[in-house]
Amino acid sequence: AQSVTQLDSQVPVFEEAPVELRCNYSSSVSVYLFWYVQYPNQGLQLLLKYLSGSTLVKGINGFEAEFNKSQTSFHLRKPSVHISDTAEYFCAVSAYNTDKLIFGTGTRLQVFP
């Protein structure tokens, strides 16, 4: 079975500052890793994913994440945030070659002017 831990429930940050949202996972098998963003009263939108290959993954809206197998982490980063990045961010994992996603509890990113 897989599990996902998002260590921070809320992350406040000022506009144009860098941000890192943390995600750790647990699994006895190889996994795929995902970050999704959810804006208020909307469904989830894929930010980026790691399936294989390069451990540094670049996604939409200037976000990137790095897969670290030894630390079982997949932290999300952005060098300079905008007000429009205010949203809920979910890290998710699926076992290799399956479609079932297990989500973390989410991190609320609040960007202040």
CB of 18 to other proteins, least distance (A): 25
Which residue number, 13 or 101, has a Cβ lying nearer to other proteins? 101
Residues in contact with other proteins by CB under 8 A are 32, 36, 41-46, 49, 51, 90, 99-106, 108
Closest CA to 77 of 89, 88, 65: 65
Residue 95 to residue 82: CA distance in whole angstroms: 33
**Angle ∠(26,100,85) on CA atoms, nearest 5:** 75
Dihedral of CA 98/108/45/15: which sign?
negative
Which residue number, 14 or 96, has a Cβ lying nearer to other proteins? 96
CB of 7 to other proteins, least distance (A): 14
Which residue number, 19 or 47, has a Cβ lying nearer to other proteins? 47
